[in-house]
Every structure is written in C-alpha cells, then in structure tokens.
Amino acid sequence: MSDQPEASSSVDAVIVGAGFSGLYLLHRFRQLGLSTRVFERGGDVGGTWYWNRYPGARCDVESMQYSYSFDEDLQQDWTWSEKFSPQPQILAYIGHVADRFDLRKDIDFDVEVTAAHYDEGARRWTVETESGERVSAQFFIMATGCISTAQIPTLDGFDAYTGRTFHTGNWPHEKVDFAGERIAVIGTGSSGIQVIPVLAEEAAHVTVFQRTPNYSLPSRNVPMTEEYERSWKDVYAERREEMRYSGHGSLKDLNDKPALSVSEEERQAVFEDRWETGGPAMLGAFNDILTSQEANDTAAEFVRNQIRRIVKDPVTAELLAPKTYPIGTKRICIDSGYFETYNRDNVDLVDISTAPIERMTPDGLVANGTEYAFDSIVFATGFDAMTGTLFNVDIRGRGDTALREKWYAGPRTYLGLMSEAFPNMYMITGPGSPSVKSNMVMSIEQHVDFVIDSIVHMREHGFDLMEPTVEAEDDWVDHVQEAANKTLFPRANSWYMGANIPGKPRLFMPYIGGVGVYRRICEDIVENGYKGFRFEAKAAAAAE
Ligand code: NAP
C-alpha cells in the first residue's frame, strides 16, 4: 500500500464495524470531540445480529442483561418482549440506539475495509477500503466481533450443486420459503440447534448431518412480564455493577458446592431443578463442573439421560448424546424443542462422525456412501472465530509487521486489547480477553471504556502513541493459557481452540479467568500508570 497515493481524508479515529462495539465506540469518540469514520460491510447497523437472521435465531443471554448499560434512560425506556430475545428484536434495539444517538451519519455502510498500514514517521494509520478510498487516522479500532467470518467447508462438487445453499451466518434478508422442500442441515452447534426445529415445521423433510453431537439445554423461554422487567429496572444500576464483577458478565445462580460433596440423590435433584429452570443454569449447578472431570461427568450423564428420555428412537438418542468431551467445553447450546424435533416423521439424523461428507452432486450430496437429494442445503458450519475477521484485513504495524504473520502460532495480545508492534490499534473483545466467554455487551462496554480512558490519558499527558511492551504481552499470553489449563476447556475440539478450521493453531483463545477478575486486572494496570503499556510523546518523536 505504501506505493499508492496519499490518504484522501484524515480523521482522529477509524472504526471497523457497526455492531454493539462500533456504535458505542462512535458515541464515546463523539463525546470526546474526536472526528471518526466508521466502515461497516453490512447494509445497516447490527453486526452479528444483522447477518445471523436465520429462522429461530435468538440470544441465549437474558434480554434484561444482553443490552447496553451505559445510558440509564436507554435501559429504562427499552422494553423486551421475551425472556430471551429473538434476533429481529435485538436488531430493532440496535437500530433504535443508532437513531437515538444519531450515529448513522458517521457510518459508511456496504464498505469493506481491506488494509490498514501504520506509518511510523507520521504515527498514523492509513486505512483502505475495497473501493480504494484511503483514510488517515491516529487511532484504528477493529470492532469486528469474534464470530463474524462464516465458514463453509470445502466440498468437491460444490459449484455443480443446482439447489439453493445458505449459511446461517449470512442469511438472506427476504423471507426464504422452504415449504414442501427437502432440506439438509450440516452442523449441530448453537445455530444448527436453533434453526433445525423451525425448518422442520415448514419443510417437507429435514436431514441433519451431525459430525459431533452437542450438549443442549432447554431455554424455557417465556414472554417478558411487567413484574420481571420492573424487578430489573428498579435496580438496574446496581444489577449492572454486579454483572461487571461477575464470572461471566451476567447474573446467574451459582451453587458454591462441589458436585461430589452432596449425595447422588441431592445432585440429581439440583440438576433436575436447573434443567427445569432452563437456560445455561445447568453449568452453575455446582462450582466444579468446568474444572473437575468427575464433577463434569455427573452433569454430562444427566443431560445424556434427558436426551435418551426425550428422543423416542434409541439409536437416534444415542447418536445425539455427546460422549467425547466434557459438558460446557464446547459452547453450551440453548434450544427450543431441539431434541423433540427428532421425534417428527420428517426429520432424520445422519452421523458423519467417522467419515466426512464425501462430495456434493448436482442434486445433493454423498455421505457414508449414500447419495441424498436436496432442494436446499443449509450450512450451520460456524465461523473462523476470534482471528478470522482480523486476518481478513491486511493489518501491518511497525516495521511492516503483518498481524497475520506475527500471530502465525496463535494470537498474541496484551489483555486482548492491543498487540505489540501495532501502536494505537485496539481490538474490542479481541483474543485474550473474556470476549466469547462472557456476556458480550458487558465486555464490549468495558473495552470501549478502556480505549476511551486510554486516549484521555494520552491527551492529558501529551502522548500520541500507545503500545504494549513485549514483556507484558508475553506474560499475558502465558497467563491466558494457564487460566485455560486450570479448566477442562482444552479437552474439546472446539472453535474456542481453533479446532474447527483446518490448519488453525490449537490453543484456547478467550480469557477464562472471569469477567470480574479481568476487570480488576485492567483497573490495577490503569492505577499503576498503565503498567505494561508504553507511551510516547509527540515532541520526543519530532526530536528523533
Ligand atoms: P459452531 O458452534 O462452530 O458449530 C458448527 C457446526 O458445524 C458443528 O456442529 C461442527 O461440527 C459442524 N461442522 C463444521 N464443519 C463441518 C464439516 N466440514 N462437516 C460437517 N460438519 C461440520 O457454529 P455455530 O452453531 O454457528 O455457533 C457459533 C457460535 O456462535 C456459538 O458457539 C455461539 O457462541 C454463537 N451463537 C450463539 C447463539 C445464541 O446466542 N443462541 C446462536 C448461534 C450462535 P464439529 O462440532 O464437529 O466441529
């Protein structure tokens, strides 16, 4: 990019992405009086909730908690209609926030950022878009989310297939009519588990191709009651503060007893109660489910038995019951009638755990030596999570260091916020932060506030460059792995570990030490003069 023409415009900050992160960043940058451009590849605000509009898409963090907390009037005014919000309502909420704070006028939609290069002399980033526009900025922020690069597996014959194909993470905007169709769904993660029951209601037949079964818990979603809403809104500020220092950024009922400290009878009663409560409550049934294999086995067996109880055909039930990894170490799924769907006459399960789908054909696909014909194939095959979207942009820092090359063996960040050699570049909920192991909106707000406070700090001290030190970054990378190794998480082939993408390094990418713990670490770093970061003043640079 260095041989190309100068940037055509100059701003204080360029933000990539207009989801929860980008919008709040823009709002805060404006309050600081900084000029800002936001580039968004979608046609409107919303990020994840703009793209993942497949039937049945729903958040599995409670509505009262999965929302911004930065503005008291906003959180008091907005009303959710269900305990767990459906995608259209979350998208409407994000649109409301954009209107309420008049954010759209600084956002360029349908614009893909292709490159961002750091100019050491000027101490500025040049950000380039697909159309060739080049913008110079002091600060460059990737607010691109953790799960935003949809992944369709490479299959021979893909182009020859004559039916329709869809990916849950890139779903059409107009309603798709599946009535009377034979549909394949490939993938049984959170997205597959949500879309399958809805498609089964509409289509003539649904065939599910399952590589790995997932533990899924019933959501027990219910309409929002005025009473429940009031119970939150009356004390919203206090509840939000509690969430900020909680384990996962949301309030959950966590039992502080180890699973094996109680009798078998009591343990089963606790599990039953959690299963009836619904949502992710099961993982908090005892305090060691994610750290002790023995404790985990008891919860896993309970869920397997629920599957065996719900699914009438014993062979299908056994295929749906996960046995190869501890419960909770692949992202727990929350469903509405998922296992019950397999009792329908128009739903079949095909186990592809021992041999992958062989190829696609003009009519469908071949698996386990059998040829299947489909009118539509739905890929619920997930994402190149945490790093994929960062790598889609050619990001180059000091010394022309490419982010992709620096991270070839896995992401290297300090706090999941910045990476050495990339001054003044921030990642919101980047790898090495609680991110996907937390209530994302809470973590987004914390990171945005950290970035804004850092910039205020720089202004107050006459600095114009901020960057982590190599030592701080190395220590943090080690700490992230140490935290993961104290849990059972590394035992699963999950996307947390990069295991769903062929060739991706295997290591646990989010920080599992806890949202409150992480927040305190960040606060301590700030109180100690931004320990682990180095700053440079403009005058010093000019003198060099
Ligand atoms: P995912 O969890 O990565 O699931 C992808 C599924 O596709 C897995 O079952 C995977 O099998 C399968 N798969 C991938 N490649 C395949 C291949 N080549 N052949 C056959 N099967 C293949 O993706 P996701 O369901 O889209 O969910 C991603 C994340 O988004 C979730 O974990 C969650 O964090 C978030 N999400 C949240 C919600 C919610 O809030 N309710 C809803 C949707 C998504 P393997 O397991 O064997 O890899």
Q: Which of 23, 118, 34, 9 is nearest to 423 (CA)?
A: 118
Show the DSSP H helices in 346-439 as ranges.
388-391, 403-406
DSSP reduced 3-state for 239: helix
Q: What is the pLDDT of residues 451-510, one digit of tens each?
A: 999 999 999 999 999 999 999 999 999 999 999 999 999 999 999 999 999 999 999 999
**Model confidence band, residue 34 (pLDDT cutoffs 50, 70, 90):** very high
Top-tier CATH class for 9-149+385-543? alpha beta
Amino acid at 87: Q
Separation of first and last alpha carbons in the chain: 25
Q: What is the pLDDT of residue 7?
A: 80
pLDDT above 90 as % of the chain: 96
Check whether 120 has a pLDDT greater than 90.
yes
Amino acid at 435: S
Hey, which of 67, 90, 151, 191 would you mutate to test ligand 1's pocket, going by the most ligand atoms within 8 Å of its Cβ? Answer: 191
C-alpha angle 140/475/470, rounded to 5°?
50
Instruction: Considering the chain, tell me which residue range(s) the CATH 3.50.50.60 domain(s) occupy.
Output: 9-149+385-543
- Ramachandran region of residue 187, left (φ > 0), alpha (ψ -120 to 50) or beta? left
Query: How far is it, in rounded angstroms, from Cα 210 to Cα 203?
Result: 19
Q: Does any ligand 1 atom lie closer than 6 A to the CB of residue 184?
A: no
Mean pLDDT of 129-151: 97
Q: What is the pLDDT of residue 46?
A: 98
**Model confidence band, residue 543 (pLDDT cutoffs 50, 70, 90):** very low
In sequence order, the β-bridge partners of residue 350 are 209
Q: What is the 3-state secondary structure (H, E, C) of 409-458?
A: CCCCCECCCECCCCCCEEECCCECECHHHCCHHHHHHHHHHHHHHHHHHH
> What sign results for the dihedral spanned by CA atoms 100, 440, 137, 542?
positive
Hey, which of 61, 208, 381 would you mutate to test ligand 1's pocket, going by the most ligand atoms within 8 Å of its Cβ? Answer: 381
Q: Which of 162, 169, 134, 164 is nearest to 57 (CA)?
A: 169
Query: How far is it, in rounded angstroms, from Cα 77 to Cα 61?
Result: 20
**Model confidence band, residue 311 (pLDDT cutoffs 50, 70, 90):** very high
**Model confidence band, residue 254 (pLDDT cutoffs 50, 70, 90):** confident
Query: How far is it, in rounded angstroms, from Cα 380 to Cα 171?
Result: 11
Q: Does any ligand 1 atom lie closer than 6 A to the CB of residue 332?
A: no
Q: Does any ligand 1 atom lie closer than 6 A to the CB of residue 436?
A: yes
Residues in the chain: 544
Residue with tokens 């707000």: 445
Residue 308 makes CB contacts below 8 A (sequence gap 6+) with 314, 317, 318, 321
Distance from the alpha carbon of residue 214 to the mean position of ligand 1, in angstroms: 9
Mean pLDDT of 32-58: 98
Q: What is the pLDDT of residue 4?
A: 53
Q: What is the pLDDT of residues 337-372, one digit of tens each?
A: 999 999 999 999 999 999 999 999 999 999 999 999
